[in-house]
Structures are given as structure tokens and as C-alpha cells.
């Protein structure tokens, strides 16, 4: 690994950027990073963390696909929780119009996403599962934009027929980073069944 090809994570791991090495990614580091990353490039007030966005996507997936078998619903929730995971480990929540101009960025993002699934022991989503997660993500984008007072009716998704989920709007709390990290970790433990003491959501002393 060249000195120019790695970035350091808070875990101390030197991550090989072109091809992430096995074991580089752990859920705690992902949660920490996502809690410090903001939706809409941070251009909302209050700001909404990507960590909370992912949790709300998991909740929305559970309700939208509630009629599927329980194990399928649970897996969709896990995939929804992890769908933006690369943004928690050095990649960023870049606005789509800008991301389209960054040659090679989406390929790198996909490579990291698959490496994260590998390290966390989660099977790669099928095409059908991927479509379901993208549908939920699109609904949440419109919902968050409406909740945060943005011009969501001008979005291409709105023209395609996507509308805000009123019941989900009420759940979006715009937590401070520490609380968003705890929210994310608690959802992970809930879905994966990992024994762990619940993390407190009180971070009133931390700024957005």
C-alpha cells in the first residue's frame, strides 16, 4: 500500500483507499462517522445527520414492507441502516448533482459499500432488495426536505410521484451527533441481536 493510498480512521486503521483490506470496517466507526455527517450538505436548519437518516430509513422499510415475511423485513432494515455506510468512513454525503461530476466517485463508493458488508457479515443485496432500499431512500429524501422546509416540490423525485411520508416526518428529530450515533448503534443492536447496554440519547451539551 502506497503512502498516498491510505486514510486513517478513528480506530487507528490505515484504510487502503482503492481496495479496502478485510477487517478495516467496524460498526462503531461507521456510526461515529455518520453522526458527524449531515444531509443536504449541511445546508438546513436544524441539521439532520446521516446517522439519523439511516435509522429513519430502516424504520420506514419496516412499515412499508410490513407484509413481507419477518426475516425479509429485518434484512431490508439492516440494508437500509447500512445503505450510506461509506459516508461514515471518509467518503461524504455529496449532493447528487455534484457527485455526477466526480468521475470514479460512485464506483469507489460502491467498492467501499461492498467491503463494509463483507466486514460486517451482511450478504450483498439482490437487485430486488436494492430497488426496495432505493425506493425507501427516495421517499425519505422527499420527507426530510419537507420536514426541513426545503423546496421539495421542485425535486425531480416529486415530479416522478414521490410524496412526503407525514408519519415519518414526525419522527425526524434532528438529533445532536452523540445522540444520533447512539440511535444508530441501538438500531444496529436491535436488528442484529448483539448483547449490549443501551446507549443513552442525552447529548444536550454537544452542538449540532
Tens digit of each residue's pLDDT (9 = 90 or more) over 175-205: 999 999 999 999 999 999 875 555 555 544 4
CA distance 200 to 178: 9
CATH number at residue 67: 1.10.3210.10
pLDDT over 70 (residue 93): yes
Tens digit of each residue's pLDDT (9 = 90 or more) over 132-183: 999 999 999 999 999 999 999 999 999 999 999 999 999 999 999 999 999 9
Q: 90 lies in a domain?
A: yes
CA distance 137 to 135: 5
Give the predicted TM-score (pTM) of the model: 0.92
Please report, rounded to a whole number, the percentage of residues in the chain having pLDDT higher than 90: 87
> What's the domain range around 87?
6-122+174-192
Q: Please give the full DSSP string across 146-207, using - where no structure is assigned.
A: HHTT--GGGSHHHHTT----HHHHTT-----HHHHHHHHHHHHHHHHT---PPPP---TTS-
pLDDT over 80 (residue 18): yes
Q: Give helix 50-64 / helix 127-147 axis angle, nearest 10°.
A: 120
pLDDT band of 4, cuts 50, 70, 90 = confident
Q: 112 lies in a domain?
A: yes
pLDDT band of 42, cuts 50, 70, 90 = very high
Kindly report the number of other CB atoms within 10 A of residue 49's CB atom: 26
CA distance 67 to 104: 38
Q: 81 lies in a domain?
A: yes
Tens digit of each residue's pLDDT (9 = 90 or more) over 94-127: 988 999 999 999 999 999 999 999 999 999 999 9
pLDDT at 198: 52
Q: 188 lies in a domain?
A: yes
C-alpha distance from residue 63 to each of 9, 74, 127, 134 (Å): 34, 11, 20, 15
pLDDT at 206: 42
Instruction: State how many domains the chain has.
Output: 1
Q: 15 lies in a domain?
A: yes
Q: 148 lies in a domain?
A: no
Residues in contact with 31: Cβ distance below 8 Å, sequence separation at least 6, in sequence order: 51, 88, 181, 184, 185, 188
Q: 87 lies in a domain?
A: yes
Kindly report the number of other CB atoms within 10 A of residue 153's CB atom: 12
Q: 66 lies in a domain?
A: yes
Amino acid at each position: 500500500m502506497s503512502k498516498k493510498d491510505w486514510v486513517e480512521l478513528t480506530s487507528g486503521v490505515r484504510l487502503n483507499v482503492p481496495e479496502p483490506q478485510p477487517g478495516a470496517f467496524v460498526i462503531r466507526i461507521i456510526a461515529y462517522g455518520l453522526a458527524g455527517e449531515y444531509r443536504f450538505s449541511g445546508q438546513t436548519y436544524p441539521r439532520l445527520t446521516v446517522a439519523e437518516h439511516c435509522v429513519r430509513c430502516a424504520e420506514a422499510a419496516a412499515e412499508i414492507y410490513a407484509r413481507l415475511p419477518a426475516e425479509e423485513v429485518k434484512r431490508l432494515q439492516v440494508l437500509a441502516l447500512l445503505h450510506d455506510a461509506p459516508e461514515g468512513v471518509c467518503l461524504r454525503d455529496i449532493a447528487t448533482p455534484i457527485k455526477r461530476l466526480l468521475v470514479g466517485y460512485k464506483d469507489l463508493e460502491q467498492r467501499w459499500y461492498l467491503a463494509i458488508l463483507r466486514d460486517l457479515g451482511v450478504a450483498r443485496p439482490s437487485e430486488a432488495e436494492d430497488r426496495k432500499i432505493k425506493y425507501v431512500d427516495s421517499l425519505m429524501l422527499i420527507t426530510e426536505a419537507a420536514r426541513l422546509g426545503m423546496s421539495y416540490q421542485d425535486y425531480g423525485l416529486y415530479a416522478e410521484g414521490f410524496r412526503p411520508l407525514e408519519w415519518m416526518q414526525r419522527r425526524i428529530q434532528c438529533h445532536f451527533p452523540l445522540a444520533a450515533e447512539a440511535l444508530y448503534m441501538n438500531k444496529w443492536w436491535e436488528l442484529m441481536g448483539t448483547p449490549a447496554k443501551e446507549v443513552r440519547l442525552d447529548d444536550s451539551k454537544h452542538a449540532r
